[in-house]
Structure 1
Amino acid sequence: MLREALSNILKFHNYLQSRTDARVRDYPLMQSPVQMTTILMAYVVFSVYIGPRLMANRKPFRLNTVMIIYNLSMVLLNAYIVYEFLMSGWATTFTWRCDLIDPSSSPQALRMIRVAWLFYFSKFIELLDTVFFVLRKKQNQITFLHVFHHSFMPWTWWWGITLTPAGGMGSFHAMVNATVHVIMYFYYGLSAAGPRFQKYLWWKKYMTAIQLIQFVLVSIHISQYYFMEKCDYQVPLWIHLIWMYGIFFFLLFSNFWVQAYIKGKRLPATEDKLKLNGSASEPITVVANGKHLGRERENGKVPYYTNGKIFLGKVKEI
């Protein structure tokens, strides 16, 4: 029975290799799904189990300079990916409707293949987002949505560019995603730059709104396929999966939005308020360690909170 299972796995592996587009077969991490699946499984295990345990009795690393460089690099990389998608068809020859897979070896087709692979590879670079969270002991940021999104996206894209490297209308969601990541990593870069840039981060909660808009745009664009009289897209399965992807992640991010900004579980610190007997609230000031200096009136005195301890009058730094 074990021999038969191994034989079936080998047959499936050989089938995948035969179906892999020859134009993308020699790119890194494209020889088989084993390599990328192993990396992503190691990522999940590190993020959820190994990493937090290694850091349990260690102080968090201060990685501000590294993170500024990383986030700026990701802004530039994703901007380049958007530009290449535009020049590979979306701003030149595509109709934005039923754009087919290009099976040729024309310069434009090969350019689309290169940027499709680069987008796929960028998802492995983005795994560093979680590594930084672990090293900085920001485990509350490593949610199910975060880990699932970072691992599921590159895994599915391997299958996508294996079958459709010059994906026509199937590449639209990648271009939109890269555009969103230009904005996202720009925000992260400002955030890592220190307290003097906090005043420019008032739009934090709109990041989730931008993500939601992304999935709406992707779903609307790909839904055209179901209403056209004729669209001979070569791999309809890819269309169906993109549509399901857009709807599924829209629901996941919508749930995050409800939890964060309607139920208030992850409201930005600068917007938190203390409600005092129905009267106007007083703002909470953010301090460098991520906690708050709260204020409320009590017997005519104003207690201040810092590092979880309370001192009357002036703030006593610990």
Structure 2
Amino acid sequence: MFQTMELLQDAISHLAKAYDDMIAISDPRVSGWLLMDSPIPTIIITLLYLLMVWWGPKIMKSHEPLEMKRIMMAYNFGCVFLSFYIVKECVLCGYMAGYRVQCQPVTYSYDEWEMRIAKAMWWFYFSKCIEMLDTFFFIVRKKNSQLSFLHVYHHSSMFLLWWIGVKWVAGGQ
């Protein structure tokens, strides 16, 4: 019993050290940015998303579908605007920072253009959270046939993967 507890404590200690080592080599420019200091908030939001996918259709089963046309139009316009902003920032700042068609290494510089690229990458990450609303709209409109495995997998994994991307490589190509 005591040997099992010691092994468990040792494993936890090694995992904690590995986590600390990984955080130590992360991009220092994103430290303090919303949701960037720990993966826990991103994991919690993703788990809440998956709970919504599981419970949402069950809750809506006894309700009429909601009419969401105006809200969805505003949401879609907002997503288009945000995507345009992200592309504009990446193209303009990439050009100004001297990015070329060939592979561009990550630069952890505090140069204005590199910082704007890092911020655009953060907005792209955050857009993955916002885009989880697609699923909410499917559920409240009772369009459950659109809740495919691919749809749910995409929305739940992209948010987590982009946290990693912004945390370690918010720049370069």
Match of 2:166 among 161, 165, 180: 161
Question: How many equivalent pairs are there?
Answer: 167
Q: CA RMSD in A?
A: 1.5
Q: Structure 2 regions of 5+ residues with no counterpart?
A: 1-6
CA contact (8 A) 2:97 2:114 kept: no
Matching residue of 1:180: none
1:92: how far off?
6.3
Matching residue of 1:151: 156
- Provide TM-score, normalisation by structure 2: 0.90
SS class of match (1:23): helix
Match of 2:58 among 50, 53, 57: 53
Which structure has the highest strand share of the two?
1
The one-letter amino acid of 1:152's match is: S
Q: Structure 1 regions of 5+ residues with no counterpart?
A: 170-318
Matching residue of 2:3: none
CA contact (8 A) 1:44 1:151 kept: yes
Matching residue of 2:4: none
Q: Which runs of 4+ in 1 moved over 6 A?
A: none
CA distances 1:246-265 after superposition (whole Å, capped 9, x unpaired): xxxxxxxxxxxxxxxxxxxx
1:90: how far off?
4.5
Matching residue of 1:112: 117
CA distances 1:15-52 after superposition (whole Å, capped 9, x unpaired): 232122110111111111121112112212211x1111
The one-letter amino acid of 2:99's match is: F
CA distance in 1, matches of 2:93, 2:46: 29
CA distance in 2, matches of 1:131, 1:154: 16
CA contact (8 A) 2:26 2:167 kept: yes
Matching residue of 1:5: 11
Matching residue of 2:50: 44
SS class of match (1:62): coil
CA distance in 1, matches of 2:49, 2:14: 27
Decide whether aligned partners of structure 1 residues 78 and 15 sit closer, same or farther in structure 2, where only a CA change above 3 A counts.
same
Matching residue of 1:94: 99
Which structure has the highest helix share of the two?
2
CA distances 1:140-193 after superposition (whole Å, capped 9, x unpaired): 001011011111112111111211112x12xxxxxxxxxxxxxxxxxxxxxxxx
Match of 1:126 among 128, 131, 134: 131
- Alignment pair present for 1:72 and 2:77: yes
Decide whether aligned partners of structure 1 residues 140 and 86 sit closer, same or farther in structure 2, where only a CA change above 3 A counts.
same
CA distance in 2, matches of 1:129, 1:107: 34
1:13: how far off?
2.9
Matching residue of 1:85: 90
